[in-house]
Amino acid sequence: MSPKTVGIIGGLGPMATVAFMNSVLEYTPIKSNRDHLHMIVEWNPKVPDINSAVLGTGPSPAAALAASGRRLETAGADFIVMVCNAAHVYEDELRRGSCDSLH
């Protein structure tokens, strides 16, 4: 099996993105630095505020999240993760927005 490239929709909670990446590095069994996973991060802290959107007081971030996912797919991500629990409210919209690799 060939190595997979991880696409990360990050920057929504910047420290959560860093913590996730740190966990991936820490828990990936390696013998050398070359054994680490290839990760591509779409770091966009300008996505409309997800909490405000969920509460109905702000615009939906769905289009911006889907665009981030498409950029990751174009860059070669085999699968995509979102490092923001609240963002998963928009998972179905992301899939409809052609972000097929979301996991």
Pick 92 or 52 by higher pLDDT.
52
- Is pTM beyond 0.85 here? yes
| pLDDT tier at 103, thresholds 50, 70, 90 | low
Domain residue ranges of the chain, discontinuous segments joined by +: 5-25+38-96
Confidence check: pLDDT of 3 > 90: no
- Work out the percent of the chain whose per-residue pLDDT is above 90: 64
Domain range 5-25+38-96, its CATH number among 3.40.50.1860, 2.170.150.70, 3.90.1150.10, 2.40.50.100:
3.40.50.1860
| Phi and psi torsions of 50, nearest 5° | -70, -40
- Burial category of 22 from C-beta neighbours within 10 Å (exposed 0-12, middle 13-18, buried 19 and up): exposed
